[in-house]
Amino acid sequence: GENSSSITEATYTILAPLTTMDQIFAKATAVGSTATSVEITFDNWVVSAVKEDGKTAFVTDGTKGFVIFDKDLNLGFSVGNILSGTVACKVQLYNGFAELTELKSSTTGLTVSTGGTITTQELDATAIEALTGVNTGSLIKINGICSSTDSKYYVADVQIYTSLYDFETLEVGAEYNITGIYQQYHSTQEM
């Protein structure tokens, strides 16, 4: 008989780790509410805020950022931690911002060091509309915001959450300078 052979070819796509905030946000946006496995190379990004429960950390590159969340683990991050290294985790779009899950401070490849500083972005009140979910985690100072409602929780269209601010002093039409960690929750802008 004749000698015949067949060759089977397989094509594999090797995905490079995500290395920028824009790439992370684009991946989160692309997958909607479904958590997708990714590799991310952290580029000395800084933890800008940690919620009291220890399960949520905001991370920024100075102008953009994302949220790390894990309902079952205490992440152990502190404000000023510098995150570097390449890690496997999941990313999804959640309430308008990019959320990383299944990542913890002991993840292989993640280096956590201290001494990071967070640069404050100073914006004037007209720049509020330009902020989006990709800016979550950034430290923003907005100058010249007018209180547009008699609600004690709102200044212009930004909802303010803080125990350090005397809400009762807000007056309709008065101007305020507000500094805080920005996030977009659904379509609501919050600090």
d(CA 132, CA 66): 11
Tell me the one-letter amino acid at 157: D
3-state secondary structure of 36: strand
Average pLDDT over residues 159-176: 61
pLDDT value for 13? 57
d(CA 79, CA 47): 5
Distance of CA 18 to the CA centre of its chain: 14
pLDDT value for 76? 84
pLDDT value for 1? 56
In SS3 terms, 110-151 reads as CEEECCCCCCCEEEEHHHHHHCCHHHCCCEEEEEEEEECCCC
pLDDT digit string, tens, across residues 23-37: 999 999 887 778 899
pLDDT value for 8? 73
Mean pLDDT of the chain: 81
Q: Is the per-residue pLDDT at 48 higher than 90?
A: yes
Q: Is the per-residue pLDDT at 164 higher than 80?
A: no
Strand 82-94 and strand 97-101: the pairing is antiparallel
d(CA 15, CA 80): 30
Whether 71 and 85 have beta carbons less than 8 Å apart is answered as: no
The pTM of this model reads 0.81
pLDDT value for 22? 95
Q: How many CB atoms lie within 10 A of CB 85?
A: 15
**Band of residue 55 on the pLDDT scale cut at 50, 70, 90:** confident
Place of tokens 């995500």: 18
Tell me the backbone φ, ψ of residue 112, rounded to 5 degrees: -115, 120
- Element at 69 (helix H, strand E): strand 65-69
Q: Is the per-residue pLDDT at 2 higher than 80?
A: no
3-state secondary structure of 91: strand
Task: Name the DSSP letter for residue 172.
Answer: B
